[in-house]
Amino acid sequence: MSLYAAFAGNLDARLMSRRAPHSPLRGTGWLNGWRLTFGGEQMGWDGALATIVEAPRSQVFVALYDIAPMDEESMDRWEGVGLDIYRRMRVRVHTLDGEEPAWVYVLNAYEGGLPSARYLGEVADAAESAGAPHDYVMELRKRPC
C-alpha cells in the first residue's frame, strides 16, 4: 500500500470510497509549506481546478488514505494522469504522529482562474466533513469564485 494525501474534493470520504473502494482512510494531517489554489481554467469543465503550490507559511488540510495497489490505477484515471491533467508528486505530511511521506496529485497547468461557486462549495463541504478546522473551512467558503 502507498499513502495518498487527499485535498479539495477528495477529502469527501464517500467520494473516495467510490474512487478507491479498497483503500481505507487512515487519518488527517497538514501539508506545511503548501497552499490550495486553482488553475487550468481551460482544462476544467466547471471553472478552474484545485491544486497545490509551494508557499512558505501556508498549509493545506489533507485526509490520508492507504491506497491499495488495485486502486492506484483507478485513482490515476480519475485524476487524468494519462491525459496529462494531473501528475503524482511526493510530499511530507505532518500528522499528530510525526511526518509521513505521501503522494498527491498536482495540476499540470499554471495557477490562475476561478473555480465555479458549485465546485468551491463542494471543496469546502468536503473539508468540513473530513474534520478540517472551522476557520480553514470558512476561508475556503470566502474565496472568490
| pLDDT digit string, tens, across residues 71-96 | 999 999 999 999 999 999 999 999 99
pLDDT at residue 99, rounded to an integer = 95
pLDDT tens track for 10-22:
999 999 999 999 9
Kindly state the cell numbers that stand for 45. Answer: 469543465
Residue with grid cell 470566502, as numbered in its chain? 142
All domains of the chain, ordered by start, with CATH? 2-137 (3.10.490.10)
Per-residue pLDDT tens over the stretch 116-145: 999 999 999 999 999 999 999 999 999 999
Residue type, 13: A
Residue ranges of the alpha helices (H) in 6-143?
Answer: 13-19, 69-78, 117-129, 134-142
> For 67, phi and psi rounded to 5 degrees?
-80, 120
CA 123 to CA 137: how far, in whole Å?
9
Q: Is the pLDDT of residue 29 over 80?
A: yes
Q: What rounded mean pLDDT belongs to the chain?
A: 94
Q: 37-76 pLDDT, tens per residue?
A: 999 887 766 789 999 999 999 999 999 999 999 999 999 9
Query: What's the chain's length in residues?
Result: 145
- pLDDT for the residue numbered 124: 96
For residue 44, the model assigns a pLDDT of 62
pLDDT value, residue 64 = 97
